[in-house]
């Protein structure tokens, strides 16, 4: 095992233990298998007082071998209509963007990934993003447009997502 991979595994084992002991409310996460600490599943409850409230959304986090130097990728496997989630489920949020300057000059380097971040911080940022979409740099243009132009229709569609996430 390469040393960067063993560093990643050690770090992820530590983060998993911490998440198990002190999980933020409405979030559970951990490796899909004890044989592979680089692929995790997260369950995120829809934030209270939002159209997602009551829903439970599943996502996969895939960590690079050089974690924590590089951020993981995150993709929801539960369908989610949201301005900051690509139609294929990939999450578009600053904390998951590679460290350094943003080539599009939209984000400051302090908003992007750094090795001091953690799985818990990522998941809390995603919950915050779910509650308060950023429609200025959308991953899903249709969702952002509906969010801007017809909030009621957007919220109805998102409520439907929440119900469907429970198999209703």
- The DSSP output letter for 94 is G
Distance CA 34, CA 21 (A): 17
Q: Which of 42, 19, 44, 45 is nearest to 32 (CA)?
A: 42
Q: Which CATH number applies to 7-166?
A: 3.10.110.10
- Tokens linked to 120: 């818990």
Q: What is the pLDDT of residue 104?
A: 55
Q: What is the pLDDT along the chain (168 residues), one digit of tens a residue?
A: 456 678 899 999 999 999 999 999 999 999 999 889 999 999 999 999 999 999 999 999 999 999 999 999 999 999 999 999 999 999 998 888 877 665 555 556 667 788 889 999 999 999 999 999 998 889 999 999 999 999 999 999 999 999 999 987
Element (H, E) at 32: strand 27-33
Query: In the chain, where are the structural domains located?
Result: 7-166
| CB contact at 8 A, 50 and 25 | no
Which pLDDT belongs to residue 55?
Answer: 96
pLDDT score at 116: 87
- Quote the tokens at residue 14: 């530590």
**28 beta partners:** 43
- Token duo for residue 51: 């159209």
Q: To which residue do tokens 């229709």 refer?
A: 153
What stretches of 34-72 adopt beta strand conformation (E)? 36-45, 56-62
Among 44, 92, 129, 158, the active-site one is 92
- Rg of the chain over all Cα atoms, to the nearest angstrom: 16
Q: Is the CB of residue 45 less than 8 Å from the CB of residue 26?
A: yes
State yes or no: is 45 an active-site residue.
no
Task: Supply angle C-alpha 110, 115, 116, rounded to 5.
Answer: 75
């Amino acid at each position: 095992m390469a040393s960067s991979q063993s560093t990643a595994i050690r770090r992820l084992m530590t983060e998993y233990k911490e998440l198990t002991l002190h999980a933020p409310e409405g979030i559970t996460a951990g490796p899909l298998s004890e044989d592979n600490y680089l692929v995790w599943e997260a369950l995120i409850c829809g934030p209270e007082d939002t159209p997602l409230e009551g829903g439970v959304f599943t996502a996969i986090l895939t960590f690079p071998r050089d974690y924590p130097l590089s951020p993981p990728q995150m993709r929801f496997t539960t369908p989610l209509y949201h301005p900051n989630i690509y139609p294929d489920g990939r999450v578009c949020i600053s904390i998951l963007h590679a460290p350094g300057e943003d080539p599009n000059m939209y984000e400051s380097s302090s908003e992007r990934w750094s090795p001091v971040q953690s799985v818990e911080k990522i998941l809390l940022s995603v919950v915050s993003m779910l509650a308060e979409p950023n429609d200025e740099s959308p991953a899903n243009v249709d969702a952002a447009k509906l969010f801007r132009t017809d909030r009621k229709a957007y919220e109805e569609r998102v409520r439907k997502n929440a119900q469907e996430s429970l198999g209703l």
